[in-house]
Copies of this chain bind each other. A is one copy, B any other.
Amino acid sequence: MKILKHVKIWPNMMVNELVEEMKNSGFQARKLADSVRILTDMIHDKKCTKFLGLAGAIVPGGMRRVIVEIIRNHFIDVIVTTGANLTHDLIEAFGEHHYHKESVVNDVQLYKSKINRIYNILLPNKGYVILEQNLQSIFPKLPQEELSSREFLSELGKHISDRNSIVKAAADENMPIFCPAISDSILGFQIWMHSQSHKLTVNTTLDQKDILDIAFDSKRSGALIIGGGVPKHYIAMAMQTTPKALNYVVQITMDRPESGGVSGASLEEAKSWKKVAVNAKTVDLICDATIALPIIISSLLSRKESI
């Protein structure tokens, strides 16, 4: 049995040193260190196709630049995300911000002030006006045909100038973004509005061949899954419907398994489905991603030379 060593801390210690200390500790701290170790192995594995599943309000939570670091460092190869994360990324790319909620304001007052709340973060309705103005001026410049979500997002990224944008970073790096439920987002709503008088439309059925080809062609595969939902299921289903299975998986979520939903389902359970390989390296980290993700990615950046 390996001895538990208590976490040592000191002034001005580095994030990566803290992760090293956590490696020999317990509970979720140990899992956080395991996450870094497994992702390091995944990135080292040159024959591994690496997915990022991105659900939850990761942009309003302040994680936009962390995601962009993941992309620009090619820690992953393929993104699957919700329409909401893209919508919020684009709102910032077009110049609006998210804001901090002061504790005294209630939701009825916010409604009257035309400000939307996301837990302790705010977004003025104006953000959606700016989004509409910008998208409706960009859309005519895109190919006027039926596109998959992947094709659409790749084309859209070419027209974004904000270097801190997830959509732009992915386009710059030639990294596919899949958005299987794009209809269920204001971005999808804007596409639909434009499509009433133009030929550009998005059809997510067209993504199916692409995602399956990527899974099928992978020698090995891995995933960093943040927050469950459609992105988690879509990556897992690509494994389920091809003869493949994930070899490395780090799942970061506050959802739990006891209601049976896929978001909180354990990675152990995913082995029965062959979504995750029987001998895969996995960790289920129970932590809000806004805390765990910057630690993990900053630690990966510190190890990058070795990667």
- List residues of chain A with CB under 8 Å of any chain B CB: 1-16, 18, 21-22, 24-32, 55-57, 60-66, 69, 84, 97-100, 102, 107-108, 110-111, 115-122, 164, 180-181, 183-186, 188-189, 191-192, 195, 201-205, 207-209, 227, 229-230, 233-234, 237, 240-241, 253-265, 268-269, 271-274, 278, 286-292, 294-295, 297-298, 301-302, 304
10 pairs of residues in contact across A and B, judged by CB atoms under 8 Å: A8-B65, A9-B65, A11-B304, A12-B16, A14-B15, A117-B269, A119-B269, A183-B207, A229-B263, A258-B288
Whether A192 pairs with B180 at a CB distance below 8 angstroms is no
A5 to B56, CA, bound (A): 18
Given known contacts A69-B9, A118-B269, A268-B107, is B262 in contact with A84 (CB within 8 Å)?
yes
Given known contacts A180-B183, A259-B27, A287-B288, is B121 in contact with A4 (CB within 8 Å)?
yes
A259 to B288, CA, bound (A): 6
Q: Which residues of B contact A12 (CB under 8 A)?
A: 14, 16, 302
The listed residue with most B CB atoms (<10 A of its CB), out of A107, A184, A189, A203, is A184
Name the residue of chain B whose CB is nearest to the CB of A277: B111
A191 to B208, CA, bound (A): 10
Kindly provide the distance from the CB of A19 to the nearest chain B CB, expressed in whole angstroms.
10
Q: How many copies does the complex hold?
A: 4
Of B11, B203, B254, B263, the contact of A258 (CB 8 Å cutoff) = B254
A59 to B181, CA, bound (A): 21
Q: Which residues of B contact A61 (CB under 8 A)?
A: 25-27, 29, 259-260
Given known contacts A25-B61, A25-B290, A56-B261, is B297 in contact with A9 (CB within 8 Å)?
yes
Name the residue of chain B whose CB is nearest to the CB of A298: B9
A189 to B195, CA, bound (A): 25
Whether B29 pairs with A294 at a CB distance below 8 angstroms is yes
Given known contacts A7-B66, A107-B269, is B278 in contact with A121 (CB within 8 Å)?
no
A61 to B7, CA, bound (A): 9
Whether B258 pairs with A111 at a CB distance below 8 angstroms is no
Of B13, B65, B272, the contact of A15 (CB 8 Å cutoff) = B13
Whether A6 pairs with B257 at a CB distance below 8 angstroms is no
Given known contacts A237-B184, A297-B9, is B62 in contact with A227 (CB within 8 Å)?
no
Given known contacts A57-B261, A98-B4, is B29 in contact with A290 (CB within 8 Å)?
yes
Q: Which residues of B contact A115 (CB under 8 A)?
A: 272
Given known contacts A6-B164, A18-B294, A287-B287, is B260 in contact with A29 (CB within 8 Å)?
no
Whether B227 pairs with A259 at a CB distance below 8 angstroms is yes
The listed residue with most B CB atoms (<10 A of its CB), out of A118, A272, A286, A292, is A272
A293 to B248, CA, bound (A): 28
Q: Which 6 A-B pairs have the closest CB atoms?
A: A25-B62, A29-B290, A28-B288, A181-B181, A110-B272, A9-B298
Q: Which residues of B contact A304 (CB under 8 A)?
A: 11
A204 to B233, CA, bound (A): 18
